């Protein structure tokens, strides 16, 4: 008799930081349908719960996430085209939800972040990495395509680097990933927890309305012309001046 399947995602909330930990360490936190469903539920909670100021995404054990569950992928070879399209859209919807949530989402990466796992990290607003972390999209080496995450990758690093990573599947260390724009900050392995904690606490202490406006405008700029981007910025600037957070923060600053 087998025991119950462990929770795919461990979720805690402390100090405004909702921490979601991918929890299949024996499978290098490979993404299966149960994990995708758990991610949806957790992101919905993060969106609706006013106590949540920032989301931290981590991996249990040595690695962040090695990508999609290969057993599920292999089984999908026997499914119909419509079934596989629906499954792919179910995964892709995670990235849409991550973008729609007005709160910052931060990946804290130790070990390997590969394929769909690298996509999960890239889909976050910030990526904080241990020096020994590794990043890559090796799908092509398995006869597969990084199709869903390619949209994220191209926006993050530009055409030439994105095609190089997608077509060769080469893996980058954390420093290389930061140099091309996949990673926001790199910390020594011994310091990453403390330093990442500092970033998360600072975000949680920031004005939620200012962060929401920042995130929403940032991604709305995708595809806008320079002129339309300036106009959008003027709209956001004007609205942000009327918020209580703006008045309180600016008044406090002027008194210092």
Please state the three-class secondary structure of 226-247 as a single string: HHHHHHHHHHHHHHHCCCHHHH
- Residue of 44, 72, 78, 139 marked active site: 139
Contact 61, 21 (CB under 8 A): no
Task: Give the C-alpha separation, 177 to 129, whole Å.
Answer: 9
Please provide the DSSP assignment of 186-241 as one string: EE-TTTHHHHHHHHHHHHHHS-HHHHHHHHHHHHHTTT--HHHHHHHHHHHHHHHT
* Rounded alpha-carbon distances, angstroms, from residue 243 to 24, 151, 207, 209, 238: 42, 34, 10, 8, 10
Closest CA to 103 of 21, 207, 211, 198: 211
112: CB partners within 8 A, 6+ apart: 28, 63, 64, 65, 66, 133, 134, 171
Q: Can 139 be counted among the known catalytic residues?
A: yes
Task: Give the C-alpha separation, 200 to 39, whole Å.
Answer: 19
Contact 129, 185 (CB under 8 A): yes
Known catalytic residues? 139
């Amino acid at each position: 008799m087998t025991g119950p399947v462990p929770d795919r995602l461990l979720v805690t909330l402390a100090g405004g930081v909702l921490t979601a930990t991918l929890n299949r360490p024996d499978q290098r936190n490979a993404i299966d349908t149960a994990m995708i469903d758990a991610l949806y539920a957790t992101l919905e909670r993060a969106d609706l719960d006013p106590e949540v100021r920032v989301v931290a995404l981590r991996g249990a054990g040595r690695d962040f996430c090695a990508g999609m569950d290969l057993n599920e992928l292999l089984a999908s070879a026997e499914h119909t085209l419509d079934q596989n399209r629906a499954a792919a859209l179910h995964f892709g919807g995670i990235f849409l939800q991550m973008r729609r949530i007005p709160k910052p989402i931060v990946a804290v990466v130790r070990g390997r972040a590969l394929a769909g796992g690298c996509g999960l990290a890239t889909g976050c607003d910030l990526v904080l990495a241990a020096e020994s972390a590794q990043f890559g999209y090796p799908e092509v080496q398995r006869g597969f395509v990084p199709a869903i995450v390619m949209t994220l990758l191209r926006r993050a690093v530009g055409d030439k680097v994105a095609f190089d990573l997608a077509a060769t599947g080469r893996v980058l260390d954390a420093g290389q990933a930061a140099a091309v724009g996949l990673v926001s900050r790199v910390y020594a392995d011994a310091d990453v927890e403390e330093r990442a904690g500092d970033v998360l606490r600072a975000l949680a202490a920031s004005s939620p309305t200012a962060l929401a406006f920042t995130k929403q405008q940032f991604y709305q700029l995708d595809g806008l012309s320079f002129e339309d981007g300036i106009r959008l910025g003027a709209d956001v600037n004007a609205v942000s001046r009327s918020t209580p957070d703006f008045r309180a923060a600016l008044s406090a600053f002027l008194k210092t």
